[in-house]
Amino acid sequence: MSVIVRFAPSPTGLIHVGNVRTALMNWLYAHAHGGQFMLRLDDTDVARSTQAFADGIKKDLAWLGLAHDLSARQSDRFDDYERAVQSLKSSGRLYPCYETGEELDLKRKLQRTRGLPPVYDRAALELSDAERASLEAEGGAPHWRFKLSGNPVRWTDLIRGEVTIETSNVSDPILIRQDGSFLYTLPSVVDDIDFSISHIIRGEDHVTNSAAQIEIFESLGAAPPSFGHHPLLTGAGGEALSKRLGSLSIESMREEGIEPMALNSFLAKLGTSDPIEPRQKLEDLINEFNLAKLNRAPAKFDPQDLKSLNAKLLHEVSFDEVADKLKELGVDGGAAFWDAARTNIEQIADVKEWWTIVSGEINPVIEDAAWAAKAAELLPQGDFDDQTWGAWTTAIKESTGAKGRHLFMPLRLALTGRSHGPEMAKMLPLIGREKAHARLMGSTI
Q: pLDDT tens for residues 375-387?
A: 999 999 999 999 9
Question: How many CB atoms within 10 Å of residue 12?
Answer: 15
The Cα–Cα gap between 382 and 432 comes to 10
Both 263 and 241 in one domain: the answer is yes
Whether residue 301 is contained in a domain is answered as: yes
Nearest 5°: CA angle at 282, between 243 and 224? 65
Whether residue 111 is contained in a domain is answered as: yes
Stretch 53-80: mean pLDDT, rounded?
97
Domain boundary among 176, 199, 220: 176
Both 268 and 239 in one domain: the answer is yes
- Domain count for the chain: 4
> Using an 8 Å Cβ cutoff, are 222 and 197 in contact?
no
234 confidence band (pLDDT: 50, 70, 90): confident
Both 101 and 156 in one domain: the answer is yes
Q: Is the pLDDT of residue 352 over 90?
A: yes
Reduce the secondary structure of 89-109 to three states and give it as a string. HHCCCEEEECCCHHHHHHHHH
Whether residue 191 is contained in a domain is answered as: no
The mean of the pLDDT values for the chain is 95
Whether residue 165 is contained in a domain is answered as: yes
Q: Is the pLDDT of residue 300 over 80?
A: yes
Domain boundary among 359, 386, 421: 359
The Cα–Cα gap between 318 and 283 comes to 17
pTM of the predicted structure, to 2 decimals: 0.92
Instruction: Convert the pLDDT of each residue in 321-348 to its tens digit.
Output: 999 999 999 999 999 999 999 999 999 9
CATH number at residue 416: 1.10.10.350
Instruction: Convert the pLDDT of each residue in 134-185 to its tens digit.
Output: 999 998 999 999 999 999 999 999 999 999 999 999 999 999 999 999 999 9
Whether residue 127 is contained in a domain is answered as: yes
CATH number at residue 168: 3.90.800.10
The domain of 264 spans 1-76+231-316
124 confidence band (pLDDT: 50, 70, 90): very high
Whether residue 216 is contained in a domain is answered as: no
